[in-house]
Structures are given as structure tokens and as C-alpha cells.
Amino acid sequence: MEFTEAKDKFIQTWGTLATQWGINRSMAQLHALLLISPEPMTTEDVMEQLQISRGNASMNLRDLMDWGLIYKQLKAGERKEFYVAEKDIWKVARQVAKERRRREITPVVEVLNDLKAIDATTPEAQEFKRVMEGLSSVVGFADNTLNAVIRAEENWLMSQFLKVFR
């Protein structure tokens, strides 16, 4: 397989995979491009390589920065903004977990905690509370799992284990 074909296949595959993380396809493809780029890229570089509009590129670059997956990099003597992706895949995975937790899990935990606090004096209210407690348990498990991923590097044993697979 030639490099160009491999690059295109990776960008398309990353775009498909990342949609399962809650990231839109264009944003993921842009991330993939920056991830494999040996040099920082400008908005114009991104637009040209992905054949997307300036608005699409700008919006997704901003979103990727909000997610903490890419950074602006300044070059002396250049007025253009350059972008570079975090290259450590474990850091990327932890950052995605952290963002998904913040955007998805935490709000659900808060709502479920409110919903469990109902006055359960009727059979319907008791059943409602039982279901909310079950949902809360499942969401709590997901939250704990994401926390374990986020804290993975803080745990020395886990970081030593992860080094083996890098």
C-alpha cells in the first residue's frame, strides 16, 4: 500500500471511529490529519488536504482545541496560525474520556440524583425510584470506568504496564 492510500484510509477510518466517541466525522478527520502530520499545519493546509470549507475547518479546529486534542503553535516570523495534534495516543484517549465524562456522564449523574430524591409513597413512584436507582448504578459504573482511564497515568503500576504496550 502506498503512503497516500494509507493516509487516506487512516483519515477515513479515524473519522468513522471517532463518531463513536461523540466527535463529528469532519472533526475526527481533521484530527487524524494533524495526528499523522510531521509538521504543524495552517487552516489553509487543512482545507486543501481535506477539501473542506474555511468555515468547516475553523469550526472544527476550534472544537478540537476545546477538547484539548490539538494546540496552536506559533512560528517566528509567521502571521498564520499553525496547529499540531497531541501525539501521545494514551493522552488522547484520556482526554477524550475526560471530555466525554464532562459532557455526557456528569450531567446525567446530576439529573438521576435529583430524580431519585422523589417522595416514593405510591407504587408508581416506588417503581420510578427503583428504575432511577438502577440507571444511576449503571451510569456510576461508566463514570468510575472513565475515571480509571483518566487517572491511569497517575497510577505508577498502570503506567508501567502501559509502557510495555507502547
Task: List the domain range (segments joined by +) for residue 13.
Answer: 3-85
- Amino acid (1-letter code) at residue 11: I
Q: How many whole angstroms separate alpha carbon 125 and alpha carbon 119?
A: 7
pTM for this predicted structure: 0.74
**Is pLDDT above 80 for 159?**
no
Same domain, 124 and 65: no
Which of 26, 61, 85 finishes a domain?
85
Integer Rg of the chain from CA: 21
Same domain, 43 and 95: no
Same domain, 26 and 75: yes
Instruction: Give the tens place of pLDDT for each residue, 34-73.
Output: 999 999 999 999 999 999 999 999 999 999 999 999 999 9
- Amino acid (1-letter code) at residue 17: L
Which of 44, 70, 85 finishes a domain?
85
Instruction: Give the tens place of pLDDT for each residue, 65-83.
Output: 999 999 999 888 888 999 9
Same domain, 102 and 126: yes
Helix (H), strand (E), coil (C) string for 90-146? HHHHHHHHHHHHHHHHHHHHHHHHHHHCCCCCCHHHHHHHHHHHHHHHHHHHHHHHH
Same domain, 73 and 94: no
**Is pLDDT above 80 for 157?**
no
What is the total count of domains within the chain?
2
Which of 85, 110, 141 finishes a domain?
85
Out of 37-41, 100-104, 115-119, 137-141, the most confident range is 37-41
Instruction: Give the tens place of pLDDT for each residue, 127-140.
Output: 999 999 999 999 99
CATH number of the CATH domain containing 26: 1.10.10.10
Neighbouring-strand partners of residue 81: none
Same domain, 80 and 7: yes
Same domain, 99 and 68: no
Same domain, 75 and 104: no
Q: How many whole angstroms separate alpha carbon 8 and alpha carbon 13?
A: 9
Same domain, 47 and 95: no
